[in-house]
């Protein structure tokens, strides 16, 4: 990934140089291109941090909107039991709640 990261950084440098001389549509285009390249670098960082690539991802799931009003998803460890009283909320301090549209990445 370092090769791709370096290509993007070089292109960002070119755009930075062009921005000082840009006007009108050219300025808008350069700013848009710069933003897109920064987004790519961010996604590369995430991929490296979580070891994500086409071979490691089995499925990506978008949490559905269950149309139940304002409700959240919680992550539960079922402790290998069907008895709900044995289940444990993974983030018991309630710091992580998930909403419709949030993604779950299932790794292989």
How far apart, in whole angstroms, are the C-alpha atoms of residue 29 and residue 23? 10
pLDDT for 86 equals 95
pLDDT tens sequence across 41-99: 999 999 999 999 999 999 999 999 988 888 889 999 999 999 999 999 999 887 888 99
What average pLDDT score do residues 32-43 get? 96
Residue 23 in this model has a pLDDT that exceeds 80: no
Contact 21, 69 (CB under 8 A): no
Contact 80, 55 (CB under 8 A): no
- pLDDT band per the 50, 70, 90 thresholds, residue 11: very high
pLDDT for 75 equals 92
pLDDT for 61 equals 97
Q: What is Dmax (Cα atoms) for the chain?
A: 67
State residue 15 phi and psi, 5-degree precision.
Answer: -65, -40
pLDDT for 77 equals 96
Enumerate the H helices of the chain as residue ranges.
2-19, 24-49
């Amino acid at each position: 990934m370092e090769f791709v990261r370096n290509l993007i950084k070089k292109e960002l440098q070119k755009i930075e140089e062009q921005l000082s001389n840009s006007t009108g549509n050219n300025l808008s285009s350069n700013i848009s291109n710069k933003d897109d390249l920064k987004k790519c670098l961010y996604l590369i960082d995430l991929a490296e941090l979580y070891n994500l690539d086409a071979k490691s991802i089995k499925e990506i799931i978008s949490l559905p909107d269950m149309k139940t009003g304002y409700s959240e998803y919680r992550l539960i460890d079922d402790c290998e039991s069907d008895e709900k009283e044995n289940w444990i909320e993974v983030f018991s301090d309630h710091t992580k709640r998930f909403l419709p549209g949030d993604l779950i990445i299932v790794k292989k």
